[in-house]
């Protein structure tokens, strides 16, 4: 049987977001997205993700940076650090943590979709020869990466699996720990890919010091419209997703 | 033969999986199965520990008399192996098997494998194309030289030469859309690896048949056979057969879905789909998910299996490559009994009085 996650979620739950499930979705018309993927070390592979998920072999860390030109909450940048995984047979990305430079956006993303966010200064800049992204939190650079030598591709070639966000779900009986499946839809206007470069990454600052990037995999940049969908599925983080998934009134299978 | 080994594997459990597979092949030879196909995979924990298929197939050849031994498939990726080595080793296998080699070709679809060798997924279709063009020349020409994209060599004799003349049959694995047309254009046989419905399969087979009529073969002859893949579980107790077969199919689908496809982590035109994974993900929700089954599964009583084989024959397939076992999920004795019953009750219905090529029931 494939390796199952064994991450002890108790420590993570101490500062996990509390989410009330609604049918809220959010459309963000003009978003630049930089995604950079690296393999990370195999050590304690299982303990990277909770028991609901299976780690991939090799484990891959995804740095996913959004720059929204405007939104309901105003312009914002959001950088997520995620790990590739499987929920049953489906590709998913387990959110380790995120940074955001707009407190209003951060609050909304946290409350509605369970993003685990800390404030930071984020700079995502696109040039003709590269795309750079840096994240500075508490005056420390905790991430500095680039896509080098962009080449045009189609949006169909870029994949962003749904996120799995650990949160406390609030209902009439209190709260319960759950992984929230965060689905987004993308309408691409342009897309590029290039060579990934990672100048700086502080895994401890993002919540897991064992995430040490090793082998570069890919980098892509896209300009698109993003719709963050209403929450359709949540699952119990402590049991396999095939047994612990709840449908929140989803209109269609993922 | 995937040669999958459940976790936690040990030297003994790996040895046992190989021993069981060899026992199946020896029995398949006695029973009249036509082919044994062995995959080549690297680094795919549990899913496949078959990284040196030429060695396994040589062992098969040395213990059998008539079953054909097939690479299903050799990845044509230069970081894995030079085409020179493919031609040499395949020729040796053809000699040792007494001219029973079938050479399936392909290119790998997982990042786990391609990234492990430092191979560029954008290049694999191109290198496959170069490999399949040069390998028949290496076999047929006394001396060979090449100035190419993925490799070059000065004039040398590539030895030994295969027994089969002009050369062994060549195939390509078909998972990505359109690869069946690539096969047809080059005069290569199709090793269908993706389960699909009857109408979808029929369209592909018809497209292939129409296209291959005007092919420019890469070798000295056209191999116009099209094989599909299925799960075989045959028992007089139909419920037992379906339960056992669905266990194999569900486990195969679940484990395949855990693989990290190249498409998933690398934006590339070279892999328009994630290979067989999307279809398998649609079919399987969990390792125990036996509620769904592929259409036309070859599971059940001999009559059920014969009906399914007949349906696939009507679609236009020349043969079916059967997956009998995966992760040792059913007992070895059940696999052997299933093969025997298939050979006794089902195979004769297709081995006699056929006008086209016989339905080729290999083991996989």
A60 CA: distance to closest CA in chain B (Å) = 9
Comparing alpha-carbon positions, the chain A residue that sits nearest to B268 is A157
The per-residue pLDDT for range B244-275, each reduced to its tens digit, is 999 999 999 999 999 999 999 999 988 876 55
How many Cα atoms sit within 13 Å of B4 on the Cβ side?
Answer: 22
Question: Averaged over B169-182, what is the pLDDT?
Answer: 92
Of A37, A88, A240, nearest to B265 by CB-CB distance is A37
Indicate the pLDDT class of residue A11, thresholds 50, 70 and 90: confident
State the average pLDDT for chain A: 95
pLDDT band with cut points at 50, 70 and 90 for residue B360: very low
> How much is the average pLDDT of A112-138?
98
State the Cα torsion B112-B118-B124-B129 to the nearest 10°.
-130
Question: A57 and B112 in contact by Cβ < 8 A?
Answer: yes
Instruction: Test A58 with B267 for CB contact under 8 angstroms.
Output: no
pLDDT at A254 over 60: no
Report the pLDDT value the prediction gives residue B175, as an integer from 0 to 100: 86
**Beta-carbon contacts of residue A20 (< 8 Å; ≥ 6 apart):** A111, A169, A170, A171
Q: Is the pLDDT of residue A250 over 70?
A: no
pLDDT surpassing 60 at residue A251: no
CATH fold group of domain A10-241: Acetoacetate decarboxylase-like (2.40.400)
> How far apart are alpha carbons B107 and B117 in whole angstroms?
12
State whether residue B255 sits within 8 Å of chain A by CB.
yes
- β-strands B152-156, B144-147 pairing: antiparallel
> What's the token pair of residue A88?
């049953």
HSE toward the beta carbon, residue B146, CA cutoff 13 A = 22
Please give the Cα distance from B297 to B195 (Å, whole number).
Answer: 10
Comparison of pLDDT for B195 and B64, the residue scoring more: B64
**Domain ranges, ordered by start, for chain A:** 10-241
pLDDT at B129 over 70: yes
Q: Distance between CA atoms of A31 and A247, rounded to whole angstroms? A: 29
pLDDT > 80? residue B69: yes
Q: Does B276 touch chain A (CB under 8 A)?
A: no
Per-residue pLDDT band at B185 (split at 50, 70, 90): very high
Mean pLDDT of A57-73: 97
Cα(B175)–Cα(B275) distance, integer angstroms? 5
> Measuring CA to CA, which residue among B83, B132, B81, B80 is closest to residue B110?
B80
Per-residue exposure over A18-55, b if at least 16 CB sit within 10 Å of its own CB, e if not = ebebeeeebebeebbbbbbbbbbeeeebeebbbbbbbb
Closest CA to B67 of B24, B113, B34, B27: B34
Q: How confident is the model at residue A21 (pLDDT cuts 50, 70, 90)?
A: very high
Mean pLDDT, residues A79-90 taken together: 97
Residue B363: the pLDDT is 37
Whole-number percent of chain B with pLDDT over 90? 85
Residue B9 pLDDT grade (very low, low, confident, very high; cuts 50, 70, 90): very high
Cis peptide before A252 (omega within 30 of 0): no
- What pLDDT is stored for residue B355 in this prediction? 41
Q: b or e along B146-161 (b: 16 or more beta carbons within 10 Å of the residue's beta carbon)?
A: beeebeebeeeebeeb
| Residue B281 binned pLDDT confidence (cut-offs 50, 70, 90) | low
**Residue A174 distance to chain B (closest CA, Å):** 31
Burial class (CB in 10 A: 0-12, 13-18, 19+), A83: buried
Q: Which of A54, A90, A217 sits opposite B265 (nearest CB)?
A: A217
Closest CA to A66 of A102, A91, A39: A102
By the 8 A CB rule, do B40 and B1 touch?
no
Domain spanning B11-363: CATH superfamily: Luciferase-like domain (3.20.20.30)
Q: Which residue of B has its CA nearest to A89?
A: B257
Q: Name B121's bridge partners.
A: none
Nearest residue on chain A to B4, alpha-carbon basis = A1
CA A217 to chain centre: 17
Reported confidence tier of residue B291, pLDDT bands at 50, 70, 90: very low
Answering whether pTM is above 0.90, one says: yes
Task: Determine the distance in angstroms separating the CA of A121 from the nearest CA of chain B, rounded to an integer.
Answer: 27
Q: How many A-B residue pairs are in contact by the CB < 8 A criterion? A: 79
- Given a cut of 90, is residue B342 above it in pLDDT? yes
- When CB atoms are compared, the residue of B254, B260, B285 closest to A56 is B260
Is pLDDT of B361 > 50? no
The average pLDDT across B311-330 equals 96
Cis peptide before B8, with omega less than 30 degrees from 0?
yes
d(CA A100, CA A66): 9
Q: How does DSSP classify residue B293?
A: -
Q: Which tokens belong to B265?
A: 């982590």
CB contact, 8 Å: B203 with chain A?
A: no
Among A14-28, B277-291, B328-342, the range scoring the smallest mean pLDDT is: B277-291
What does the mean pLDDT of chain B come to?
91
Banded model confidence at residue B40, pLDDT cuts 50, 70, 90: very high
Provide the phi-psi class of A222: left if phi over 0, else alpha when psi is between -120 and 50, else beta.
beta
pLDDT of residue B351 exceeding 90:
no
Mean pLDDT score, A189-218 = 96
* Listed range (A245-254, B132-141, B314-323) with the worst mean pLDDT: A245-254
Cβ of residue A4 closer than 8 Å to a chain B Cβ? no
pLDDT value at position B285? Answer: 53
How many Å apart are CA A72 and CA B159, to the nearest integer?
A: 70
What's the rounded mean pLDDT across residues B321-336? 97
Query: Is A220 in the B-facing interface, judged by CB distances under 8 Å?
Result: yes
Q: In the numeric block, which tokens belong to residue B317?
A: 């397939």
Q: What ipTM was estimated for this complex?
A: 0.94
Give me the pLDDT at residue A44, please. Answer: 84
pLDDT exceeds cutoff 90 at B132: yes
Which among A60, A89, A240 has the least Cβ separation from residue B265? A60
């Amino acid at each position: 049987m494939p390796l199952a996650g064994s991450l002890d979620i108790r420590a993570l739950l101490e500062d996990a977001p509390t989410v009330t499930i609604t049918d809220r979705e959010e459309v963000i018309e003009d978003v630049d997205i930089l995604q950079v993927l690296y393999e990370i070390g195999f050590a304690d592979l299982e303990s990277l993700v909770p028991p609901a998920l299976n780690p991939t072999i090799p484990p891959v860390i995804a740095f996913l940076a959004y720059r929204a030109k405007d939104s309901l909450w105003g312009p914002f940048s959001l950088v997520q650090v995620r790990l590739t995984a499987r929920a049953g047979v489906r590709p998913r990305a387990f959110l380790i943590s995120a940074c955001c430079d707009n407190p209003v956006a951060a609050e909304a993303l946290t409350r509605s979709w369970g993003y685990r966010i800390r404030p930071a200064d984020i700079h995502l800049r696109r040039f003709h020869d590269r795309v750079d992204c840096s994240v500075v939190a508490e005056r420390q650079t905790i991430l500095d990466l680039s896509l080098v030598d962009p080449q045009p591709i189609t949006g169909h070639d870029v994949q962003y699996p749904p996120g799995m966000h650990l949160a406390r779900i609030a209902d009439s009986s209190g709260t319960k720990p759950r992984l929230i499946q965060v689905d987004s839809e993308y309408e691409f206007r342009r897309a590029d890919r290039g060579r990934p470069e990672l100048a700086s990454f502080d895994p401890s600052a993002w919540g897991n010091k064992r995430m040490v990037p090793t082998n570069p995999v890919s980098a892509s940049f896209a300009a698109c419209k993003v719709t963050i969908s209403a929450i359709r599925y949540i699952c119990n983080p402590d049991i396999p997703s095939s047994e612990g998934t709840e449908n929140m009134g989803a209109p269609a299978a993922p | 033969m995937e040669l999958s080994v459940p976790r936690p594997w040990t030297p003994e459990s790996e040895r046992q999986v190989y021993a069981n597979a060899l026992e199946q092949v020896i029995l398949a030879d006695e029973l009249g199965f036509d082919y044994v196909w062995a995959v080549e995979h690297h680094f795919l924990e549990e899913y496949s520990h078959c990284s040196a298929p030429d060695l396994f197939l040589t062992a098969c050849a040395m213990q059998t008399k008539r079953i054909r031994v097939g690479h299903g498939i050799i990845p044509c990726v230069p970081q894995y192996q030079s085409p020179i080595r493919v031609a040499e080793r395949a020729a040796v296998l053809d000699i040792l098997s007494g001219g029973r080699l079938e050479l399936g070709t392909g290119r790998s679809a997982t990042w786990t494998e391609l990234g492990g060798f430092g191979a560029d997924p954008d290049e694999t279709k191109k290198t496959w194309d170069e490999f399949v063009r040069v390998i028949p020349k290496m076999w047929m020409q006394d001396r060979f030289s090449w100035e190419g994209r993925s490799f070059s060599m000065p004039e040398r004799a590539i030895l030994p030469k295969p027994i089969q003349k002009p050369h062994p049959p060549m195939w390509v694995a078909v998972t990505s859309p359109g690869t069946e047309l690539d096969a047809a254009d080059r005069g290569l046989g199709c090793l269908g690896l993706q389960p699909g419905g009857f109408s979808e399969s029929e369209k592909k087979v018809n497209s292939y048949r129409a296209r291959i009529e005007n092919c420019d073969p890469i070798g000295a002859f056209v191999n116009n056979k099209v094989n599909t893949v299925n799960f075989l579980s045959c028992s007089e107790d139909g419920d037992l057969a379906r339960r056992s077969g669905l266990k194999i199919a569900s486990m195969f689908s679940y484990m395949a879905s855990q693989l990290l496809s190249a498409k998933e982590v690398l934006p590339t035109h070279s892999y328009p789909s994630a290979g067989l994974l999307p279809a398998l993900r649609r079919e399987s929700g969990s390792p125990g998910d036996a509620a769904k089954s592929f259409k036309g599964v070859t599971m059940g009583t001999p009559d059920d299996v014969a009906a399914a084989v007949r349906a696939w024959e009507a679609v236009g397939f020349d043969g079916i490559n059967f997956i009998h076992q995966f992760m040792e999920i059913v007992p070895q004795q059940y696999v052997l009994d299933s093969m025997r019953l298939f050979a006794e009750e089902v195979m004769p219905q297709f081995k006699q009085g056929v006008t086209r090529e016989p339905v080729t029931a290999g083991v996989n």
